[in-house]
Amino acid sequence: MRWMSNMAEILDGKALSAVVKDEVRSEVIELEAKYGRKPCLCVIIVGENPASQVYVRNKVKAAAYTGMESRLIELPADVSEAALLERIAELNADDAVDGILVQLPLPKHIDEEKVIYAIAPEKDVDGFHPSNVSGLWLGKDCIVPCTPAGVMRLLDSTETEICGKTAVVVGRSNIVGKPVAKLLLDRNATVVIAHSRTADLASVTRQADILVAAVGRPGLITGEMLKPGAIVIDVGINRTAEGKLCGDVDFASCAEKASWITPVPGGVGPMTIAMLMKNTIRCFKARQ
């Protein structure tokens, strides 16, 4: 059909995540041969949040695929903050553990910041510890949060030069918006960060050669808000009233305007998990 020729190319995060996981799989074999043990990722989940359970299951499944060791620690929703911190301290001291991830969000009675600070920075596979966050902003070689790292890998897979492009990041959270903006800045993009107080969002997004949406509002970004040919990365994971997964980007209208676009599901989500595997390898190597 003729109209198909104007459609964006799909940035297939599922396929790319398989490539990344295969890279990790090969590395695991090499590392075991060299050091006599496999990298080990430890995932802690507190309570029974269904979304968290899905994420954790997928992380453990991915670890198994790559051949690395993984441990899943399931704690009851009423576990005390002190008991959780004690488990983290044990894992920090355990030489066989390379990466520690505590699935967020945590129940209200537990201070997330305390938990993030408690993880040894060299085992912080999420890259949320302040020492890794400051490393990122100071341009040091450090652990980069998984979702932003996945966004960059998706962008690189388009083989588009990022240097000199205008990149607009919608969203300024510590876990996605801000680190993505810094990574784009590091690649010499001209970066604009938009947020809930941005006046006339559409006039800002229309400047974007690269648009990253990390908001949590279904369909916020529509085709008329895009510059023709933009690369669109949709980080959002939302559920419609019917329970269907969707992103922050209205896929149908944006696919008619963009050059590349990520789907939801099958875009950034699988890349986040693949980059977690990469971060675990990185932690293993740094600890040898």
Which residues form the catalytic set? 59, 103, 126
Cβ neighbours, 10 Å, residue 206: 16
From the list 108-116, 128-136, 195-203, 254-262, the region that binds ligand NDP by CB under 6 A is: 195-203
From the list 26-34, 94-102, 156-164, 192-200, the region that binds ligand NDP by CB under 6 A is: 192-200
**Using the rule CB under 6 A, is 215 a contact of ligand NDP?**
yes
> Using CB under 6 A, which residues numbered 233 to 252 contact ligand NDP?
235-238
- By C-beta, is 88 or 214 nearer to ligand NDP? 214
**Using the rule CB under 6 A, is 268 a contact of ligand NDP?**
yes
From the list 24-32, 37-45, 154-162, 215-223, the region that binds ligand NDP by CB under 6 A is: 215-223
**Using the rule CB under 6 A, is 170 a contact of ligand NDP?**
yes
**Using the rule CB under 6 A, is 261 a contact of ligand NDP?**
no
Count of residues of this chain found to bind ligand NDP when the rule CB under 6 A is applied: 26
> Using CB under 6 A, which residues numbered 92 to 151 contact ligand NDP?
147
**Using the rule CB under 6 A, is 167 a contact of ligand NDP?**
no
Judged by CB under 6 A, the residue of 67, 107, 135, 216 near ligand NDP is: 216
Given the rule CB under 6 A, which residues bind ligand NDP? 147, 170-173, 175-177, 194-198, 201, 214-217, 220, 235-238, 268-269, 272
